[in-house]
Amino acid sequence: MILPIYIYGHPVLRAANAEVTPDYPGLHDLINNLKETMYNSEGIGIAAPQVGVNTKVVYIDVDVLAEDMPELKDCRLTLINPVVTVDETAPIVSREEGCLSVPGIHENVRRHEKIHLHWTDENWQEHDQDIEGYLARVVQHECDHLDQKLFIDHISPIRKQLIRSKLNNMVKGNIRCDYRIKVAPRNRKR
């Protein structure tokens, strides 16, 4: 099922996210919904909080980038309870990022080029892998959602000030997207 994507300013994006257990009800439905929602919105990664579910689940599919980055061919990951450890010795690289929850804004974000990732997949198999390059960036970006962070939290105060009006419009619900969205609830005066 294609779900609405929660937009910057909605409290669900800053709420704590629970670890998932093997008996989590509807886990496979959630994963399938994440996939359908991400593909419908033409993303390459999505985290459960972006569809209003505060659990530690991420889906990534970067195969679409394989023409320019062959190492991403057939790279699809379902991450349950992922743990990212940054390789502090790896170079830090600045690259442009965008986000389905912050539509229309792209900013350069500095991230380490290499990480270690521990996660459980949808079949409850545990994995440990060193990841580098663009995939490391995507994993860090999506796992940030599980830690109540957005990519704009990593940009300079000056850059954030320059996009402040766009962010304020998102909070107010003054935004148009090519996919279904859910904006922050408005405070109603009585």
Q: Which residue has the tokens 């229309």?
A: 104
C-alpha 93/C-alpha 30 separation (Å) is 33
Q: pLDDT grade, residue 53 (50/70/90)?
A: very high
pLDDT for residue 166 is more than 80:
yes
Mean pLDDT of the chain: 96
Q: pLDDT grade, residue 76 (50/70/90)?
A: very high
C-alpha 168/C-alpha 189 separation (Å) is 20
Could you confirm whether 142 is annotated as catalytic? yes
C-alpha 91/C-alpha 103 separation (Å) is 28
pLDDT for residue 134 is more than 80:
yes
C-alpha 114/C-alpha 100 separation (Å) is 24
Confidence (pLDDT) at 190: 44
Range 165-176 average pLDDT: 95
Q: Which pTM value belongs to this model?
A: 0.95
Single out the catalytic residue among 42, 67, 126, 142. Answer: 142
Domains and CATH numbers, the chain: 5-182 (3.90.45.10)
Confidence (pLDDT) at 162: 97
Confidence (pLDDT) at 187: 64
